[in-house]
Structure 1
Amino acid sequence: MHENISKQLLQEMKIRRPAVHCLTNTVVQALTANTLLAVGAIPSMSSDIAEVADFTKSADALLVNIGTLDGDLKTSIKAAIAAARDNNIPWIFDPVFIDRSRPRAAYAKELLSLGPALIRGNKGEIALLGGSPAELARKTGAIVAMTGVTDIVTDGNMEITVEGGHELMSLVTGIGCAGTALLGACLAIVPPEKRLQAVAAGLSLLGEAGEKAATQAAGPGTFAALILDQIYQISQSSLQERKE
C-alpha cells in the first residue's frame, strides 16, 4: 500500500512543486532544503519576523522544528503559525529535545493548542506531549507520527505501522528533521482526509531511501549524500512511470 501511495505522491510532487516554509534548527537547514528539492518541493527558510508571515502565506505547508530554540525564533514561530491558520495552510510540528528542557517542553505544549496538522517525534517526545500517539492525536486533532525502529502513524482512530530504514540514519544529524520536512511536502498536496496515508507513505519513502543508501555507504559521511541521491532517484523513477 505505502509503495503505491508513495509513487502517486511523488508524481504529484514533481508536477505541483509545493512550497514548504521551514522554521527549523540551524544544524539541519541545508539537509532539509536539499531533501525537499530532491522530491521537487520548494524550500524557504527565513525566520525574520519582518517577513516570516509573508513567506508562510505564500507557502503550501509550514514546518516548525524547535531544535535550536531562542527568543527571536519563538516570536517568529507564533507569527508564522498565525499566518498558516489564517490561510488554511497545514503546519507540521517537530518537538525536538523537549524531553531535555522543561521550558522547551512548556513552550511545545503551548503550540499544541494552535492546531498542527502533524506532530512527528520520537517515543519520549510524544509521551511527554500527550501519552500514547493515539492519545495525543485525539487530544490535538493532528496526525501523530512516532518514529523509531518501527514508525507508528495514527489519527487517534486508525493506526499504520511503517517498517524500514537503516541504523546509519541515526548517525547523521538532521535525517529525521529533514524527513519531517518531507512529510510536510506530502501534506501540502493531499486533502485532510488523506493525511494519514500520506504521512505513512512519506515515512516509507524515507526508509526505502535509507536502506538503499546504506548498501553503498562506507559510513555516515557518504551515507548523508547517498540518501539524498536515493530520494531523488526514487522520485525521478516515479515521475518516469507516470509518463509511461
Structure 2
Amino acid sequence: MHIAPFPQTNEWKDDGMREDISRHLLQEMNSRRPAVHCLTNTVVQALTANMLLAVGAIPSMSSDIAEVAHFTKSANALLVNIGTLDGDLKNSIKAAIGAARDHNIPWIFDPVFIDRSEPRAAYAMELLSLGPALIRGNRGEIGLLGGNPADLARKTGAIVAMTGVTDIVTDGSTEITLEGGHELMSLVTGIGCAGTALLGACLAIVPAEERLQAVAAGLSLLGEAGEKAAAEATGPGSFAALILDKIYQISQSSLQERKENE
C-alpha cells in the first residue's frame, strides 16, 4: 500500500511535514497490524515487544531452530539483532533469514557491539551478503561495516540508518538527516534496539521504493516520543515507561484523526 504523500529530502526539516507522515504511517500500521518476528537481544525482548504492541504491530520472539522459519514466513518483517549471540542463535538467524528471502520478507539488521568483538564483526560481515533491507547502527558499527552510511548502502543495496545525536538515513544516493530525541534515550538499555524493531514494522507496510522515507518517518516518531517522555520523566526508570506511553498516545491520536476524517 502506498503511503503518500512522502516529503522530498529537503522537506524533512519541516516539523509539520514529518509529523504528518509519521502519523499517516501509524494509521496504516494500526489498520494492517504487521507481524514482526524478532531475533533480538535477550536483555531487551520485553521493551521491544511492548514498543511494537504500542503502535499496533504484532511481535513474536521464538528463536527455536525447529520453528523459527515458520514464524518468519508468517511475519511481515524480520528483525535480526546480535546483541546477545551464541551458537544456537547463529543457526536460528541463518534459518530465519533464509525463510525471509524465500518469501520476499524484508529483514532488518542491528549489528550491536560489532566494534567490541572481532568474531562478532566477522559474523556480521557474513550476514551482510544475505540482503538486509535495512541496517541500523551507531557510528562505530556502521563505520566498521562500510566506512560511511552511503558507501554501506551502495555496497549492500540496503537502507542504512546511522543513529546518534543526528540521525542519517540513506539509500546510497539520497540522504535524509534528522535531529531530535533526548539524551535519556541513551541511558535506558534497549531503546535503540526496540526502535529498530519499530523501523521493521514501518518497512513491513511499504513497498521497497518507499523504504527510505518510511525509515526516516519511524526515526522521527521515536525522537518525538523521546522528547515528550523526557519532558515528564524524573530519570531513566520513569523515562522507560513514559516513552512507551508516548508512542502509544501518538499512535492512538493518529487513529482518532483518521476516524474524524472518514
Alignment of 1:149-164 (within 5 A): 149-164=165-180
Amino acid at match of 1:70: D
Matched residue of 1:63: which SS?
strand
Structure 1 position 104 matched with structure 2 position 123: no
Aligned equivalent of 2:227:
211
Aligned equivalent of 1:29, options 45, 48, 72: 45
Deviation digits for residues 87-127 of structure 1 (CA, Å, limit 9, x no counterpart)? 00000000000000000000000000000000000000000
Q: Which runs of 5+ in 1 are unaligned?
A: none
Counterparts of 1:240 and 1:145 in 2: how far apart (Å)? 30
Aligned equivalent of 1:67:
83
Q: Which runs of 5+ in 2 are unaligned?
A: 1-16
Aligned equivalent of 1:227:
243
Shift of 1:78: 0.1
Aligned equivalent of 1:94:
110
Matched residue of 2:130: which SS?
coil
Amino acid at match of 1:96: V
Aligned equivalent of 2:193:
177
Aligned equivalent of 2:203, options 187, 206, 222: 187
Matched residue of 2:219: which SS?
helix
Aligned equivalent of 2:163:
147
Amino acid at match of 1:118: L
Structure 1 position 117 matched with structure 2 position 137: no
Aligned equivalent of 2:144:
128
Amino acid at match of 1:22: C
Shift of 1:2: 2.1
Counterparts of 1:45 and 1:184 in 2: how far apart (Å)? 14
Structure 1 position 78 matched with structure 2 position 78: no
Shift of 1:3: 1.5
Counterparts of 2:131 and 2:96 in 1: how far apart (Å)? 13
Matched residue of 2:232: which SS?
coil
Structure 1 position 47 matched with structure 2 position 63: yes
Deviation digits for residues 39-75 of structure 1 (CA, Å, limit 9, x no counterpart)? 0000000000000000000000000000000000000
Matched residue of 2:56: which SS?
coil
Aligned equivalent of 1:20, options 36, 40, 56: 36
Counterparts of 2:254 and 2:101 in 1: how far apart (Å)? 32
Counterparts of 1:50 and 1:105 in 2: how far apart (Å)? 27
Counterparts of 1:76 and 1:157 in 2: how far apart (Å)? 33
Matched residue of 1:126: which SS?
helix
The TM-score normalised by the length of structure 2 is: 0.93
Shift of 1:151: 0.1
Amino acid at match of 1:225: A
Shift of 1:6: 0.5
Aligned equivalent of 1:198:
214
Matched residue of 2:53: which SS?
helix
Shift of 1:131: 0.6
Counterparts of 1:213 and 1:136 in 2: how far apart (Å)? 33
Deviation digits for residues 112-166 of structure 1 (CA, Å, limit 9, x no counterpart)? 0000000000000000001110000000000000000000000000000111000
Matched residue of 1:89: which SS?
coil
Q: What's the Cα RMSD here?
A: 0.4
